[in-house]
């Protein structure tokens, strides 16, 4: 036996002779090692691959796996090349033969989403991109035709105003009046040219946020569609030109950050709608119609009236400054007031109605009572003379009950079957909203 064979047969260290196994057993298939070759380098000696500085290792430790171990669980490579039985070897549990998994069937590739296809909850995806040449041409020419368009509209309105003619019949759509629909702002130019969703998101994100904030302010001012459970729903819609490369699904994801939800478009690819439902107020505190009258100066009592010396001048001058303010508001259409009912508040402050003039000028309680009854009865019966159903909700502004008080409006409205609307928070300093319950309820 060579030294290389003695190393693998269980030697007792470097240079030690082979030790017999304490539990020798006959090898069932004795045969020599297939490739016995003498080892030219003894154990612990240098190896040609160790380099010129390699030498014997004085700290070499005997290999524990080459010593005879009476408790070893079998020698995997005995001298005969076959495993030997070990009486102390613990039987291993039978391992199931590895099962080769069957080759998986190739997954069907999902078809590419076509531009404008509905996905993500049924909302359409990105629309087809416009031609870059067409976008650049429109962006260049709009600085010429937009001013001419606005000048032509102003001239047309001036002619119709001064001539008194009805003019030619206009188309059903009002798009010809809105120049901004054909205007490509510089912020949208980049999104149109690149077509990347992130560029479109940076463009439409501020627009959506601004419209959502305006809708929430309108809700606070009393706007919204009232539901059967007295909740109110506000809606916002965007035209496709504002989100073409993002898709309606992307706009809905942006709206969900503000607590709004998408409204199914029903196949309408020209716009996207989002809405939010606001629950009814938990508690509405207001005096009853039969409660004692509220003290003057309180929210539900009589409000201070304007000076009797100033009222005649306001009554005459409002014939001139009210139309002027109305025209200026039309010209400055980009100016947005924080209060949706801004003009109602402005009229109550700077306007004097012909029927309310004597009541406010004299300060008589009887004159205010007649004026309030006339307005409330007219509003509650509106539409019945034309065969239509009477309104279920009406609003009475401060100019109607300034000297009588908001509680007096509740008293007069109760006689007509109307009560304070529980869907709104009371604002007696601005208006009184009334509600007629269903007859079945």
pLDDT, position 172: 53
Cβ-in-10-Å burial (0-12, 13-18, 19+) of 192 comes to buried
Model confidence at 203, in pLDDT bands (50, 70, 90)? very high
pLDDT of residue 16: 43
What pLDDT band is residue 175 in, cutting at 50, 70 and 90? Answer: low
Based on the fold, state whether residues 259 and 323 are members of the same structural domain: no
Task: Assess contact for 283 and 235: CB atoms under 8 A.
Answer: no
| DSSP assignment letter at 268 | -
**In terms of domains, do 199 and 252 share one?**
yes
Q: Among residues 403, 415, 300, 419, which one has the least CA distance to residue 361?
A: 403
User: Is the pLDDT assigned to residue 390 strictly greater than 90?
Assistant: no
In this prediction, residues 250-272 reach a mean pLDDT of 88
Same domain, 228 and 325: no
**Does any domain span residue 411?**
yes
Q: Are 213 and 350 within one domain?
A: no
Residue 334 is part of which domain span? Answer: 310-435
Does 326 share its domain with 248?
A: no
Report the C-alpha gap between 438 and 420 in whole angstroms. Answer: 14
Q: Which of 178-182, 184-188, 426-430 has the lowest mean pLDDT?
A: 178-182
End-to-end CA distance of the chain: 110
**Residue that is last in its domain, among 254, 278, 302:** 278
Cβ atoms of 224 and 265 within 8 Å: the answer is no
In a domain, 124, yes or no: no
* pTM, two decimal places: 0.60
**Residue 149 banded pLDDT, cuts 50, 70, 90:** confident
* 392 assigned to some structural domain: yes
Distance CA 17, CA 12 (A): 7
**Do residues 263 and 387 share a domain?**
no
Q: Are residues 211 and 252 in the same domain?
A: yes
Statement to judge: residues 326 and 413 lie in one domain? yes
Q: What contacts 258, CB < 8 A, 6 or more positions away?
A: 209, 212
Predicted confidence at residue 367, as pLDDT, reads 94
Domain assignment present for residue 20? The answer is yes
Which residues face 262 on adjacent strands?
Answer: 274
Q: CA–CA separation, 263 vs 234, rounded Å? A: 11
User: Which are the contacts of 184, defined by CB distance < 8 A and separation ≥ 6?
Assistant: 135, 138, 139, 142, 192
Taking only Cα atoms into account, the Rg of the chain, rounded to an integer number of angstroms, comes to 46
Q: How many residues does the chain have?
A: 441
DSSP string, 292-352: PPPPTTSTTSPPPPPPTTHHHHHHHHHHHHHHHHHHHHHHTTT---SSTTHHHHHHHHH--
- Indicate if 244 and 317 belong to the same structural domain: no
Q: Do 139 and 253 belong to one domain?
A: yes
The answer to whether residues 47 and 54 touch, using CB atoms and an 8 Å cutoff, is yes
Domain count, the chain: 3
118, 266 contact by CB (below 8 A):
no
- Asked whether residue 8 is domain-assigned, the answer is yes
- Is residue 304 a part of any domain in this protein? no
User: How far is residue 135's CA from residue 416's CA, in Å, rounded to a whole number?
Assistant: 60
Closest CA to 321 of 313, 310, 333, 309: 313
In a domain, 390, yes or no: yes
Of 223, 224, 220, 190, whose CA–CA distance to 204 is shortest?
190
Instruction: State whether 269 and 368 are in the same domain.
Output: no
- Could you give the C-alpha distances from 110 to 107, 113, 117, 118, 245, in angstroms and in order? 9, 9, 14, 15, 21
Output 43 or 392, whichever has higher pLDDT: 392
pLDDT in tens, 190-202: 999 999 999 999 9
| 88 in a structural domain | no
Predicted confidence at residue 274, as pLDDT, reads: 95
Assign 252 a pLDDT band (cuts: 50, 70, 90).
very high
Asked if 210 and 248 count as a contact pair (C-beta separation under 8 A), the reply is no
pLDDT range class, residue 84, cuts 50, 70, 90: low
Domain boundary among 25, 42, 70: 70
The answer to whether residue 256 scores a pLDDT higher than 70 is: yes
| Residue bearing the bigger pLDDT, 101 or 363 | 363
Residues 270 and 140 in one domain: yes
In Å, the largest CA–CA distance within the chain is 136
Q: Which of 70, 87, 117 is the last residue of a domain?
A: 70
């Amino acid at each position: 036996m060579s030294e290389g064979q003695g190393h693998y047969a269980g030697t007792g260290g470097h240079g030690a002779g082979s030790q017999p196994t304490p539990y020798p057993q006959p090898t069932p298939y004795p045969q020599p090692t297939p490739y016995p070759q003498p080892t030219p380098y003894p154990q612990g000696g240098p190896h040609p691959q160790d380099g010129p500085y390699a030498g014997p290792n004085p700290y070499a430790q005997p290999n524990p796996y080459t010593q005879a171990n009476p408790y070893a669980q079998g020698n995997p490579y005995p001298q005969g090349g076959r495993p030997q039985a070990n009486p102390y070897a613990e039987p291993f549990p039978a391992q199931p033969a590895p099962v080769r998994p069957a080759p998986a069937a190739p997954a069907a590739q999902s078809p590419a989403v076509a531009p404008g296809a509905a996905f993500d909850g049924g909302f359409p995806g990105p629309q087809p991109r416009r031609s870059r040449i067409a976008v650049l041409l429109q962006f260049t020419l709009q600085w010429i035709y937009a001013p001419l368009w606005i000048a032509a509209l102003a001239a047309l309105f001036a002619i119709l105003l001064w001539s008194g003619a009805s003019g030619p019949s206009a188309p059903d759509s009002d798009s010809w009046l809105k120049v901004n629909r054909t205007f490509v702002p510089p912020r949208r130019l980049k999104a149109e040219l690149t077509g990347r969703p992130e560029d479109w998101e940076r463009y439409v994100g501020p627009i959506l946020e601004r419209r959502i904030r305006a809708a929430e302010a309108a809700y606070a001012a009393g706007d919204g569609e009232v539901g059967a459970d007295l909740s109110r729903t506000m809606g916002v819609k965007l035209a496709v030109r504002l989100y073409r490369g993002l898709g309606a699904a992307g706009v809905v994801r942006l709206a969900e950050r503000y607590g709004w939800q998408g409204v199914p478009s029903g196949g309408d690819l020209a716009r996207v709608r989002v809405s939010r439902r606001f629950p009814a107020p938990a508690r509405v505190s207001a005096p009853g119609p039969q409660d004692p009258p509220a003290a003057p100066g309180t929210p539900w009592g009589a409000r201070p009236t304007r000076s009797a010396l100033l009222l005649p001048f306001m009554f005459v001058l409002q014939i001139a400054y009210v139309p002027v303010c109305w025209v200026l508001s039309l010209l400055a259409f980009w100016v947005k007031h924080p209060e949706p009912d801004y003009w109602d508040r402005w009229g109550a402050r700077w306007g004097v109605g012909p029927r309310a003039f004597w009541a406010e000028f004299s300060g008589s309680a009887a004159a205010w009572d007649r004026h309030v009854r006339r307005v409330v009865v007219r509003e509650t019966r509106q539409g019945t003379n034309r065969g239509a159903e009477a309104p279920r909700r009406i609003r009475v502004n401060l100019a109607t009950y300034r000297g009588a008080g908001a509680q007096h409006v509740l008293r007069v409205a109760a006689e007509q079957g109307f009560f304070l609307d529980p869907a709104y928070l009371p604002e007696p300093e601005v208006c009184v909203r009334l509600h007629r319950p269903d007859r079945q309820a």
